[in-house]
Each structure stands twice: as structure tokens, then as C-alpha cells.
Chains A and B, each alone.
Chain A
Amino acid sequence: MNGSGFRAYKLAFLLPGLLILLAIILFPLIFTIRVSFSSWDAITPGLNNAGGINYVKLFGDVRYWQSLGRLSLMAVGTVLLQYLLGLGLALLVWREVKLRRFFRVLFLVPMMTTPVVMSVVWRTIFHESLGPANDLLGMVGLGPFQWLTSASTAIVSVMIVEVWQWTPFMFLLLLAGLLSLPREPYLAAAIDGAGPIRTFFNVTLPLLAPVSIGALIIRLIEASKIMETVYVLTSGGPGTATETTGYYIYIRGLRDFEIGYASALSITYLVIMIVALTIIAKLLVKVFIGERT
């Protein structure tokens, strides 16, 4: 086949998808950057040139930085929990277990469900007097807890829902990783007389390292966007106790209509997330694969 004909085929595969994604994503992103340098709000809408005033303002915005700290805590906390639980569950149904195909799908069910819709259900579960959470825990002598109305428990409640929703995704990624492991190292470990615990730490965990890193990063990326569950469960409350960055920007931008300022907040949020996730990814590679590379 001649060169130019081949080139046309090459481009026909890639270009439609690439151009459409560029068109849909790039314009909004550039527009947001431009708007972040304007003072667009409800009273004076429109693009003007306000310089970097929004960026100066956000440095002193305590509520913003607190929401970022809270988001980091929630994201890292829930993802670590999801990893431990997901790995445990994947190991449980990896091999000889009765009904293992049934349990594998059952464990996946929460990630198939709509987060906000299930959060609506969780809200009824967490209802202090009419919901089952306090009722059932009361039977074993625990509680009652103020699930959604006290600052310290509300954040735990949001995290419980996040763990319920997304542990399945972690489980799916880790199970697929386990199922694709080679058999030879296990035979070698068995010949050496290694027990199950030593086999796990010396064979399974190192072999699973690349998949673990991938799964943790994918989940951290998704968790860095937590806001929908917060919106439904607590609306950021009580006070601002569960307000995540996305939700705070939503309030400033689409509720108070401070478009210019909210745009500056979003761009800063995006940059911080990209930098943080890149650093975390590098650290994870070092921790899991470290000495060997």
C-alpha cells in the first residue's frame, strides 16, 4: 500500500474521536481560564478584565482551603479503606469458593448503582429516629449516633457511603489482576514449602504491585471529585463540616453566581489535583516497586 493512502487510514481511526473530545473539552477549559480573570458575577455579568484579583482573593479564602484539606482526608481515607477491603474481598473469591461467580457479581453491584440515588436511600437509613442504622446498632447496645447532624459523625457517614459505593470498583480491578497472575511463581513457592502467609507477602503482593498502583490511582482520581454524595446526604453540613471543594465551588459559582471567582477556584482546584495526583503516583511506584527499578 502506498504511503499517503496508509496515512489516510491512520488518521481516519484516530481523528474523529480526538477532534470531538478536543472540541468538547478544550473550549470550556480555555473559557474557564479566561473567565477566571474577570469579575463576572450576578450583578455585572460578562467578560471584563479584572487581572488576577480572583486569584489573590482565593489565597485568603479559609473556607476553600479547609474544603481542600477535608477533601484530601476523605479521598485518601476512603481509597485506602477501599483498597484494603477490595483486596481482601478479591482474595476471598479468587479461588476455591462455592458460588464464587455469584459472589463476584454481588460484590460488584454497588458500583452499578447511581451514587446520588443510593445516597437518598442511605439518608433514610441514617435517619436518627426513623432509620434502621440506629435501630439495628441499638439491638447490640451501640449508639444512638447523630449520623448526619454532628460534625464528626457526618464525615464518617459520607465515607461509609463512599466505601460502600466504590469498594466494588477496587475489587474488580484487583480481582482481574489476581486472575491474570502467572502460575509458575506459586509452584516455586509451594516447592520451597512457603505457607499461605509467606506466599501472599513474597509472591502475590509483589506480582500485584503494578495493578495495585493502577487501581489506587484510578480510584484517587475519581475520589478527588467527591461532591454528589455530599450534596444529597448533608448538603455540606452541618455548617461546613462535610463540604468538599467541588461542592464549595458549586455554591459560589452556580448558586451565588460568582462566575469569575468560582472559575479561579476551579482552575486552582484542577491544578492542585493534577500536581497532587502526579506526586502520589510517583510515590506509589516508589513504595510498591521501589528497589527493583
Chain B
Amino acid sequence: MMPKLYGLLKYSAILLWSAFVVAPFLWALTTSFKTANGVTGGPTYIPWLQYEPSLTGWRSLFGGAGGIDIVKPYLNSIVVTGSASAISLVLGTLAAYGLSRFDYRVGPAKNADVLFFFISQRIMPPIVLAIPFFLMLQFLGLLDSLLGLILVYIALLLPIAVWVMIDFFNNIPRQIDEMAMLDGCTPFGAFFRVILPNSLPGIIVAGLFCIIFGWNDFFFAFTLTFTDAQLLPVAVVALNSSVTPWWSLSASALISVAPLVLIAFLVERFLSRGNLAGAIR
């Protein structure tokens, strides 16, 4: 009796939370097929039965009436997130490997302090950097440009890459590098030929985290761009103003969060592997 009751409670809890998780997506999905009539008549959920579905919302994303052209911000987001993540991943992996294997000494600072400097950048509230970034990019002529945003995003993502990778490298025994170097590899050779191929799960997790925080950032994209280099979240939030075209708003929301949700399901088996919180201490 007891185990059965326990099982029932367990699955009810799982299903209840799952419902909470998917509810906003279902609501956005159904709203994206509505028109003004379907929205202003009060909340409805089931197409055909409660309202007449229409593709107006989805069409509006690609130059249709009353919407936005989402293609350009979409491409901008891909370029900025992709470049910044790739650069951060390369620099972060190298730095993390160095910090994991060698002893550094910069004045009084040692490895732990350098690592702390990297990771502590996450404490910085975006607003503290936004004003100087604005003036700095203006000075460099990079305001409202993709290149300017890529620079700023590297500062956001590099600490994440270092943080994920250092834990990963710390868990690879040092003897492996030492063996490779005894076999005549340089430190670079040992790293690229022996360690890196074995670090793929770590690199996938680090890359995913970079992409998540890059793709999902709003504040810098919002304060440092106007029109040319507008990124996806800024374009979607622009629909949030006065008049409410809920259908195009919902369609644009779904289309902008879809890629990362798909990636999450693809790399699922790597995700719960890294013990990230354990690495902090």
C-alpha cells in the first residue's frame, strides 16, 4: 500500500511541475494562431472549437501586416551568439587547461586568484558595465554594430567557458598529459592530441552554456544597438508596446526560443554530467 501511494504522489508531482513548465508554451502556441477576435473575446484555448485559427501571426514575422521582419534580427543573433561563443570557448578552454595544469604567479596572485578573477565577472551587474560600454563603443565607432556586440559578449561568456572547463580538466588525471609528453609531445601536442579529444562532453556543456547566455541576453543588445544590429530578444520585446498584437508576439516568442529548446533535447545526455556547483568551492 505505502509504495503504491508513494509512487502515485511522485508521478503526480512530476506531472504537476511538467504542466507548469509547458503551460506558457502551450498558451503562446494557441495564441499565435488567433486574430484580434480570438484575443479580445477573453481567454480561449482550443482552436476550431473556441476560435477560428489563422496564420496571421506567423505571416507577420516574415513581412506580413502588423508585425516585424524577424529574419534580420534572427541572423544577427546567430552571428553574434555564434562568434562570441566560439571565441570564448577557444580562449576559455585554453585558459582553463593552463590554470588546471600549470602554476602561475602574477605578483601576489596565484592560480586560485586568477580563476577567481575569471569567475567573479559573473557578479558584475550588467548596468555597471552598460554605461561605459556605451561610451566605449561610441568612441570606437562600434555602437549599433555586430562587432561591438561580439566584443561585449565575449566578456560575458568567457568566464562561463573557464568555469565549466576547469572542473572538467581537473577531473582528467595529470598522468595522461605526462605520458604524452614523455612520448615526445610538446605541451601543445599533449593538449590538442590527447586531452582535447577526451574533453568533448565538457566542451559541449561549456558551448551550450555560452550559447544559452549569449542568445538569451537582452540588456546589452538593448542598450548598445538601435536598428542595424538589433538582436532577436530586442525585436520581440519591441512588440510588447502599447497596442497588443498578441498573435505575432506569441509566434515571435516561440520561434526565438525554439532553437535552444531543440539543442537541449539533442545534447541531453551530456547535461547532467558536469558537477558544476561542486567546482565553485
Residues of chain A having any CB pair with chain B under 8 Å: 1, 6, 9-10, 12-14, 16-18, 20-21, 24-25, 27-29, 31-32, 35, 85, 88-89, 92-93, 97, 101, 103-118, 120-125, 129-132, 135, 164, 172-177, 179-180, 210-215, 217-218, 221-222, 224-225, 227-228, 232, 245-246, 249-250, 253-254, 259, 262-263, 266-267, 269-270, 273-274, 277
From B22, B249, B279, A120 is in contact (CB under 8 Å) with B249
Asked whether B49 is an interface residue with its Cβ less than 8 Å from the other chain, the reply is: no
When A130-B42, A266-B127 are in contact, do A31 and B132 touch as well, CB less than 8 Å? yes
- CB under 8 Å from chain A, chain B span 36-88: 39-40, 42-43, 45
Give which listed residue, A1, A85, A104, A218, contacts B277 with CB less than 8 A.
Answer: A218
Are the C-beta atoms of B257 and A135 separated by less than 8 Å? no
Tell me whether A124 and B277 are in contact in the complex, defined as CB-CB below 8 angstroms, given that A10-B104, A21-B121 are known contacts.
Answer: no
Question: By the criterion CB–CB under 8 Å, are B21 and A110 in contact?
Answer: yes
The B7-24 residues at the A interface (CB cut-off 8 A) are: 10, 13-14, 17-18, 20-24
Docked complex Cα distance between A62 and B278 (Å): 39
* Given known A-B contacts A109-B264, A131-B43, A225 and B131 have beta carbons under 8 A apart: no
B contact set with A: CB distance below 8 Å: 10, 13-14, 17-18, 20-24, 27-28, 31, 39-40, 42-43, 45, 91-92, 94-95, 97-99, 101-102, 104, 114, 117-118, 121-136, 151-152, 154-155, 158-159, 162, 181, 186-188, 191, 212, 215-216, 218-219, 223, 232-233, 236-237, 239-240, 244, 246, 249-250, 252-253, 256-257, 260-261, 263-265, 268-269, 271-281
Neighbour of B250 across the interface among A18, A109, A121, A273, CB < 8 A: A121
Nearest CB in chain B to that of A85: its residue: B17
Q: Is the CB of B236 within 8 A of A116?
A: yes
A124→B94 contact, CB < 8 A: no
Q: Which of A35, A117, A270 contacts B253 (CB 8 A)?
A: A117
Give Cα distance in the complex from A201 to B130, angstroms: 45
CB neighbours of A111 from chain B (8 A): 212
Contact pick for A211, options B17, B129, B277, CB 8 Å: B277
Compute the total of residue contacts between A and B using a CB distance below 8 Å: 277
What is the CA–CA distance of A6 and B98 in the complex, to the nearest angstrom? 12
Instruction: Pick from A92, A120, A175, A225 the residue with the most CB of B within 10 Å.
Output: A120
- Cβ of A262: which chain B residues have Cβ within 8 Å of it? 131
A54 to B167 alpha-carbon distance, docked (Å)? 42
Instruction: Known contacts A28-B129, A164-B20; decide if A92 and B257 are in contact (CB<8 Å).
Output: no
The answer on a CB contact under 8 Å between A92 and B123 is no
- Complex contact B127–A227 (CB within 8 A): yes
Q: Cβ of B97: which chain A residues have Cβ within 8 Å of it? A: 13
Closest Cβ–Cβ distance, residue A82 to chain B (whole Å):
13
Q: Are A28 and B24 in contact (CB under 8 A)?
A: no
Cβ-defined contact, A17 with B127, below 8 A: no
**Apart from the given pairs A18-B117, A273-B123, 19 other A-B contacts in the complex at a CB distance below 8 Å:** A1-B186, A13-B95, A20-B91, A21-B118, A21-B159, A32-B129, A104-B271, A112-B257, A112-B263, A113-B257, A114-B256, A115-B216, A120-B237, A121-B27, A211-B277, A213-B280, A214-B281, A218-B277, A246-B125
